[in-house]
């Protein structure tokens, strides 16, 4: 028997062209074509997941679902989870409440039309939630979201109504019935690999990142022992040759370790909820 209990959530933000159009505002066909490769890469990734018998989570903007419907159908048919990821990778912080609602519905419609899916999970494009995001997710029946960074390997409850400014005391809002599966820039392939001129990013040695991810996993497994290892990848990014070896190397490192399980985000969020009710983080003053 082991006392370890680590859930490994391999997550893929299948942005395709949407990230270049919605987040970067690209007008160059060449830049947008970087996203087109995502559909090729999804096939490589699905093959590896199938060979390793791993179920993963794909967060898919509606724009991607409509552009490459067969890939989304096939992701679902393989038993992977599909989550909401905006329409065309808009940053919710730069939208009005009406626009954010429109994006929510447009994304839901696309996933429904293409693959008959009603997602229970949401990941904000660029991991930026607006003050309206959590209420909107509750209204539309989501069960978890995965864009915040208030913990590392431990899920927690989302909140509505945190208040802050530079002069007054911090005020925690009200915890609500929505599970947060926290993310981390360290465990995201995009800033390490994607070259964007003028930004501090891109073109790191894939083997170096593999070592960082292995160390992150080992810290969780060896020192903490219980929690979720939530890795964010992008098919267009991790799916390139040398970087696929990072994904494969990470799986090889983890597979077979007692007390670890690869699975979807929805599965973990559902299991984490059992016996819990919404509450503030420990040490937080209400
Ligand atoms: Zn994304």
- Beta partners for residue 130, in sequence order: none
* CA-to-CA separations, 173 to 58, 85, 123, in angstroms, rounded: 30, 25, 21
Domain extent for 58: 5-273
Alpha carbon of 20 to ligand 1 centroid (Å)? 10
Q: Decide if 278 is inside a domain.
A: no
CA distances from 168 to 45, 150, 160, 164, 286 (A): 48, 21, 18, 7, 15
Task: Report yes or no on 114 lying in a domain.
Answer: yes
Question: Looking at the domain assignment, is residue 78 inside a domain?
Answer: yes
At 96 the pLDDT is 96
Q: In whole angstroms, give the CA distance from residue 154 to residue 136.
A: 23
Confidence of residue 286 (pLDDT cuts 50, 70, 90): confident
Q: Ligand 1 centre and the CA of 231: distance in Å?
A: 13
Do the domain assignments include residue 285?
no
C-alpha of residue 167 to centroid of ligand 1, in Å: 34
Here the CATH number for the domain that contains residue 160 is 3.20.20.370
Beta-carbon contacts of 143 under 8 Å, excluding residues fewer than 6 positions away, are: 120, 121, 178, 179, 266, 269, 270
154, part of any domain = yes
Residues 118 and 69 sit within 8 Å (Cβ to Cβ): no
3-state secondary structure of 233: strand
Span from the CA of 44 to the centroid of ligand 1 (angstroms): 19
Give pLDDT tens digits for 137-160.
999 999 999 999 999 999 999 999
User: What is the spatial distance between Cα 93 and Cα 66, in angstroms, rounded to a whole number?
Assistant: 24
User: What is this structure's pTM?
Assistant: 0.97
Q: Does residue 286 lie within any of the structural domains?
A: no
Residue 2 CA to ligand 1 center (angstroms) comes to: 36
Examine residue 58 and state whether it is found in any structural domain, yes or no.
Answer: yes
**Domain contains 282:** no
**pLDDT digit string, tens, across residues 9-67:** 999 999 999 999 999 999 999 999 999 999 999 999 999 999 999 999 999 999 999 99
Domain count for the chain, please give it.
1
The token duo for 150 is: 């208030």
Residue 268: both structure tokens together: 């973990």
Closest CA relative to residue 281, chosen from 149, 157, 162: 157
CA 278 to centroid of ligand 1, rounded, Å: 28
CA of 155 to the centre of ligand 1 (A): 21
């Amino acid at each position: 028997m082991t006392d370890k209990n680590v859930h490994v959530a391999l997550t893929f933000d299948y942005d395709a062209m949407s990230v270049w159009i919605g987040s970067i505002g690209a007008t160059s066909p060449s830049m947008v074509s970087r996203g087109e490769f995502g559909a090729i890469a999804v096939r490589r990734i699905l093959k590896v997941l199938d060979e390793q018998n791993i179920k993963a989570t794909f967060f898919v903007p509606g724009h991607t679902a409509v552009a490459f419907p067969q890939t989304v159908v096939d992701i679902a048919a393989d038993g992977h989870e599909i989550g909401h990821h905006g329409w065309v990778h808009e940053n919710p912080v730069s939208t009005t409440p009406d626009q954010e609602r429109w994006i929510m519905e447009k994304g839901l419609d696309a996933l429904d039309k293409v693959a008959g899916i009603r997602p229970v999970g949401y990941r904000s494009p660029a991991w930026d939630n607006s003050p309206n995001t959590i209420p909107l997710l509750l209204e539309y029946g989501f069960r978890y979201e995965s864009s915040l960074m208030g913990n590392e390997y431990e899920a927690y409850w989302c909140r509505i109504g945190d208040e802050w400014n530079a002069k007054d005391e911090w005020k925690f809002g009200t915890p609500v019935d929505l599970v947060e599966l926290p993310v981390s820039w360290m465990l995201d392939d995009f800033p390490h690999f994607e070259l964007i001129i003028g930004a501090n990013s891109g073109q790191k040695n894939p083997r170096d990142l593999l070592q960082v991810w292995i160390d992150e996993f080992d810290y969780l497994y060896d020192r903490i022992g219980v929690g979720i290892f939530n890795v964010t990848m992008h098919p267009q990014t991790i799916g390139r040759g040398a970087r696929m070896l990072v994904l494969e190397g990470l799986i090889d490192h983890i597979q077979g370790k007692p007390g670890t399980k690869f699975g979807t985000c929805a599965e973990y969020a559902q299991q984490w909820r059992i016996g819990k009710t919404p509450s503030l983080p420990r040490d937080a003053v209400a």
